[in-house]
Amino acid sequence: MADFLPHLYGQEKVKKEWKRLLEENRLPHTLILYGDEGLGKTTAALDLAGELTGKSDKVWDAVASWEEGAAKKEPVLTMADDQVWYLRPLGLELKIEQFRIFLDAMASFDEKPHVCIIDEAQTMMDPVANSLLKTLEEPEGNIHFILITHDLHALLPTIISRGERFAFFPLGEADYMALMASDPKKYKFPADMDAKTLYQLSEGNPGITLEVCDETGDSQPEEAMHFWETMTFDTMPFSKLSKEWKDRDEFLRMLRWMILVGRDIMVLAETGNPSLARCISVVHREQTLAGHWKDGRSEEALTVLKTAETAVSRYINMKNIWDMILIQLEHIRKGSQKWSKL
What is the average pLDDT across 260-270?
A: 92
What's the pLDDT tens digit per position in 91-108?
Answer: 778 889 989 999 899 888
Q: Given this structure, which CATH class describes domain 12-167?
A: alpha beta
**Residue partners of 37: CB distance under 8 A and separation at least 6:** 150, 207, 313
In which band, very low, low, confident or very high, does the pLDDT at 67 lie, cut at 50, 70 and 90?
A: low
In which band, very low, low, confident or very high, does the pLDDT at 207 lie, cut at 50, 70 and 90?
A: confident
pLDDT at residue number 220:
61
**Cα 286 from Cα 242, distance rounded (Å):** 22
Q: Position 125: which residue type? A: M
Look up residue 87 and give its DSSP letter: E
Q: Give whole-number Cα distances, 337 to 34, 279, 298, 333, in Å.
A: 35, 29, 14, 9
Cβ atoms < 10 Å from Cβ of 137: 9
Q: Give whole-number Cα distances, 173 to 37, 69, 188, in Å.
A: 18, 33, 17
In the predicted model, is pLDDT for residue 341 greater than 80? no
**Residue partners of 68: CB distance under 8 A and separation at least 6:** none
Q: Give whole-number Cα distances, 103 to 87, 131, 134, 202, 297, in Å.
A: 12, 9, 11, 39, 52
In the predicted model, is pLDDT for residue 72 greater than 70? no
What is the average pLDDT across 148-161?
A: 91
In 3D, which of 46, 126, 123 has the Cα closest to residue 91? 123
What global pTM score does this model have?
Answer: 0.78
In which band, very low, low, confident or very high, does the pLDDT at 216 lie, cut at 50, 70 and 90?
A: very low
**Cα 321 from Cα 29, distance rounded (Å):** 38
Q: Give whole-number Cα distances, 55 to 48, 71, 281, 324, in Å.
A: 10, 21, 46, 48
pLDDT at residue number 78:
92
Helix (DSSP H) and strand (DSSP E) numbers for the chain = 16, 6
What is the average pLDDT across 30-57?
A: 95
* Residue 141 falls in which region: left (phi positive, over 0), alpha (psi -120 to 50) or beta: left
**Cα 26 from Cα 78, distance rounded (Å):** 25
pLDDT at residue number 27:
94
Residue ranges per structural domain of the chain:
12-167, 220-334
In which band, very low, low, confident or very high, does the pLDDT at 217 lie, cut at 50, 70 and 90?
A: very low
**Residue partners of 32: CB distance under 8 A and separation at least 6:** 121, 147, 149, 152, 155, 159, 160, 163, 164, 165, 166
What is the average pLDDT across 312-318?
A: 77
93-102, 119-128, 266-275, 329-338: segment of lowest average pLDDT: 329-338
In the predicted model, is pLDDT for residue 79 greater than 80? yes
**Cα 192 from Cα 212, distance rounded (Å):** 12
Q: Give whole-number Cα distances, 258 to 160, 251, 341, in Å.
A: 33, 10, 18
What is the average pLDDT across 268-276?
A: 90
Calculate ∠ Cα 201-206-210, nearest 5°: 80
Report the topology of domain 220-334: Zinc Finger, Delta Prime; domain 3 (1.20.272)
Give the 3-state secondary structure of residue 247: coil
| Beta strands 77-79 and 84-87, pairing class | antiparallel
Q: Are 138 and 107 in contact (CB under 8 A)?
A: no
Share of the chain above pLDDT 70, in %: 91
**Cα 339 from Cα 327, distance rounded (Å):** 9
pLDDT at residue number 214:
59
What is the average pLDDT across 235-261?
A: 87
pLDDT at residue number 326:
95
In which band, very low, low, confident or very high, does the pLDDT at 339 lie, cut at 50, 70 and 90?
A: very low
**Residue partners of 247: CB distance under 8 A and separation at least 6:** none
Look up residue 86 and give its DSSP letter: E
Helix 173-182 / helix 195-202 crossing angle, nearest 10 deg: 120
pLDDT at residue number 71:
67
**Cα 269 from Cα 286, distance rounded (Å):** 9
